[in-house]
Amino acid sequence: MKSLESNFMNKKTIFLLLLLVSFVSIQLSAIDKPAYAIFNSEGKEVDYDQMIKSVKKNQVILFGELHNNSIAHWLQLEMTISLFEDKKQDLILAAEMFEADDQLIVNEYLKGKISEKTFADEAKLWPNYTTDYKPLMDFAKTNGLAFICANIPRRYANMVYKSGITTLDSLDQLAKNYFAPLPMLYDTSLTCYKEIVANAGGHGGENLPKSQAIKDATMAWFIYKALTTTKQVLHFNGSYHSDREEGIAWYLKQYMPSVTIGSVSTKEQADIKKLADENKGMADFIIVVPENMTKTY
């Protein structure tokens, strides 16, 4: 009888060991295929909590995304949740993806004055709104947060590209409420604008980078205005609008030299185990995602 009991216990032990080995193997397999890694500006790997602990100290957080990157969009929502837990109603959301002349529509939607269908029909929503930005808007609506439409209306940026920055002077004052005050400062030495000129091979002349600069200036302007009523703004934008603390960050410092800014950038790499040299210094924290990660569009 004792022999049978001993055999049963041995088999049970072996079975439990096999389960443990299987579990460890699964865990190791998951680690072998991570969906992302986070690095600080110098290239040291950090975890999500370390990133949040650092950025939440700032008045403004610029979250630079790749517009079709699913991991970036998920982490934007996670960061929103984490900051809200700490700041509550002192947190305001803002984004490049919503143009300033849609602010009234967004406000009416957030306050429940109009239906989601009416909102979708009348606002100039990006094609990937439903998958990528709706979760952020829904969070703001559920928790009573303001959501700033920070970008210049596209028609005005196009005017700058076609006819130059001075063409905005001829607009009505009502239109001028939708973009940064004129005259607009412009620094030709900033890498973000030099790269635009270089990549275009001279096409568009100075109007091309200035059409980008008026977007950066406008987003910075509306962030600055929001800081008069809140303690923290979390702004979502394409990484190129805030990499190297240029673009939006540069303009924001012109409006408010004392402002504290935390920055995040998203980059794709074939190997995410180490931060590529060209991505160092892009932001306080760089989220690195595999190049073959599923795209949202």
**Residue 20: predicted pLDDT:** 54
Q: Supply the pTM of this predicted model.
A: 0.89
Please report whether residue 87 resides in a domain. yes
Same domain, 23 and 43: no
Please report whether residue 295 resides in a domain. no
Task: Give the span between the Cα atoms of 106 and 150, in whole angstroms.
Answer: 12
Q: How many domains, the chain?
A: 2
CATH number, domain containing residue 167: 3.40.50.11550
The domain of 270 spans: 35-290
Same domain, 55 and 25: no
Examine residue 183 and say whether the peptide bond preceding it is cis (omega within 30 degrees of 0). Answer: yes
- Output the average pLDDT for the chain: 92
Three-state DSSP state, 48: helix
Per-residue pLDDT tens digits for 6-56: 554 555 555 445 555 454 444 544 567 899 999 999 999 999 999 999 999
Please report whether residue 283 resides in a domain. yes
Same domain, 130 and 28: no
Per-residue pLDDT tens digits for 216-268: 999 999 999 999 877 899 999 999 999 999 999 999 999 999 999 999 999 99
Task: Give the span between the Cα atoms of 143 and 93, in whole angstroms.
Answer: 12
Same domain, 17 and 120: no
Q: What is the mean pLDDT of residues 268-293?
A: 97
DSSP 241: G
Same domain, 167 and 124: yes
